[in-house]
Amino acid sequence: MSENEAEIELDEAIARLGLETRLAKVPCDAAQEFVAALRVPFVAGNPRVLWMGLGPQARSAPYGSKDEWFACLLAACASVGATAGVLVLETDTDRYPVYRCSDVNAIRCALSECAFFEYYFVDEHLRWFIADTEHNEILTVTRHP
């Protein structure tokens, strides 16, 4: 998937499902500021994709099917107390599409309408970071200030 195909597909799914208030796109400058901020506590170095820089503290939960995917995501969210957060799409560039997410179910609804792509669900206050990787694996990292 090219750098903006995932973004276009997600934007279309959000519009089609009427999820604009539950998954609100963040303006580009603010999105890039958020991604720069999340790199500091969670991502070591400058990896090709953000999740590769999470390090050994990341807890892994593999899943085998789309049905198992949402159960794994919910379990990861429950483990960190996540009900809302920020959805960040992985890209091949340094420009990451970012969406404020008012509830995890909105992610399920929107992403169920899309082809697979890597994404991150991150606490707005940078207390936790959840990644869905191309290896059908949910990675979870918590930050201890």
| Spans of all domains in the chain | 5-142
pLDDT on residue 145: 58
Helix, strand, coil: what percent of the chain each, to 5?
40, 20, 40
Q: What is the per-residue pLDDT for 2?
A: 52
Low-confidence ranges of the chain (pLDDT < 50): none
Do 29 and 35 touch, CB atoms closer than 8 A?
no
pLDDT at 93: 86
Note the pLDDT of residue 92: 84
Q: Side chain identity at 101, as an amino acid letter?
A: C
In the chain, the largest separation of any two C-alpha atoms, in whole Å, equals: 40
Q: What are the distances in angstroms from CA 126 to CA 20, 84, 86, 139?
A: 23, 12, 10, 15
Q: What is the pTM of this model?
A: 0.94
